[in-house]
């Protein structure tokens, strides 16, 4: 299902309305996958009309926290909030410096729940390219007492370079992605990718 939704996002001929529709559907799938990870569910026996089986229950929303890397992360955040209304929310504003040849990330703002160190964090951003923004966001979370093993990073499209950078620094962090693309190009964009997700979704190209 995810691959079919991503096809519409990859197509450069998709107009703003089409892109908005399909990014929402892809983010919904991603959010469902994220909430179903083993470390975020309780397993309990349930009774069916014909017998018994193990049932999988997402942890109570009060033990979770969705943290968006603004602004593209808000696309995934809204999908999570539809599935888990009332989930605590944090925001981290990070932008990559386009003047920097390495496109390094800069932190501008963060606002997080005061008890975030006690919560399981779903960190969300649609794209994992250089991993600069994700690494900076995880640094912020760590500074507030969140251990890496309590962080699950959700993204639609990733690449080997970004995954390797995350795994090197944070091997115990959890990662959920819908697609692993080929590589980064010379401008640090994912290939084949979908271009700039935020600009296409919000029509600010």
Task: Tell me, yes or no, if the pTM score tops 0.85.
Answer: yes
Residue 105: what pLDDT? 81
Q: Phi then psi for 132, rounded to 5 degrees? A: -60, -45
**Residue count of the chain:** 205
For residues 7-34, average pLDDT: 95
For residues 166-190, average pLDDT: 95
Task: Place 16 in a pLDDT band, splitting at 50, 70 and 90.
Answer: very high
Rounded Cα gap, residues 152 and 150, in angstroms: 7
Query: In 70-149, where does DSSP find H-type helix?
Result: 73-83, 132-143
Residue 95: what pLDDT? 82
CB 68 within 8 A of CB 74: yes
Other C-beta atoms within 10 Å of 73: how many? 28
Residue 29: what pLDDT? 96
Give the count of alpha carbons within 13 A of 42, CB side only: 9
3-state secondary structure of 111: strand
Residue 100: what pLDDT? 74
Q: What is the pLDDT of residues 90-125, one digit of tens each?
A: 999 998 777 777 667 889 999 999 999 999 999 999
For residues 1-26, average pLDDT: 91
3-state secondary structure of 140: helix
Mean pLDDT estimate for the chain: 93
DSSP 8-state assignment for residue 59: P
Q: What is the pLDDT of residues 34-87, one digit of tens each?
A: 999 989 999 999 999 999 999 999 899 999 999 999 989 999 999 999 999 999
Q: What is the pLDDT of residues 134-157, one digit of tens each?
A: 999 999 999 999 999 999 999 999
Q: Residue 190: exposed, middle, or buried by beta-carbon count in 10 A (0-12, 13-18, 19+)? A: buried
- Whether 129 has a pLDDT exceeding 80, the answer reads yes
């Amino acid at each position: 299902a995810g691959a079919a939704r991503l096809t519409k996002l990859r197509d450069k001929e998709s107009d703003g309305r089409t892109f908005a529709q399909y990014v929402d559907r892809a983010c919904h799938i991603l959010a469902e996958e994220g909430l179903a990870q083993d470390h975020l569910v309780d397993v309990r026996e349930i009774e069916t009309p014909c017998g018994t089986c193990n049932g999988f229950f997402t942890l109570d929303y009060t033990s979770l926290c969705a943290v968006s890397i603004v602004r593209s992360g808000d696309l995934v955040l809204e999908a999570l909030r539809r599935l888990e209304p009332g989930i605590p929310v944090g925001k981290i504003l990070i932008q990559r410096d386009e003047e920097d040849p390495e496109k390094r990330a800069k932190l501008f703002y963060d606002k997080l729940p005061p008890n975030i160190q006690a919560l399981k964090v779903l960190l969300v951003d649609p794209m994992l390219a250089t991993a600069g923004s994700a690494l900076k966001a995880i640094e912020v979370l760590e500074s507030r007492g969140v251990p890496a093993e309590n962080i699950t990073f959700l993204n639609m499209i990733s690449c080997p370079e970004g995954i390797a950078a995350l795994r090197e620094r944070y091997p115990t962090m959890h990662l959920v992605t819908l697609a692993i693309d080929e590589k980064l190009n010379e401008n640090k964009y994912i290939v084949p990718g979908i271009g700039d997700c935020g600009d296409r979704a919000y029509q600010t190209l």
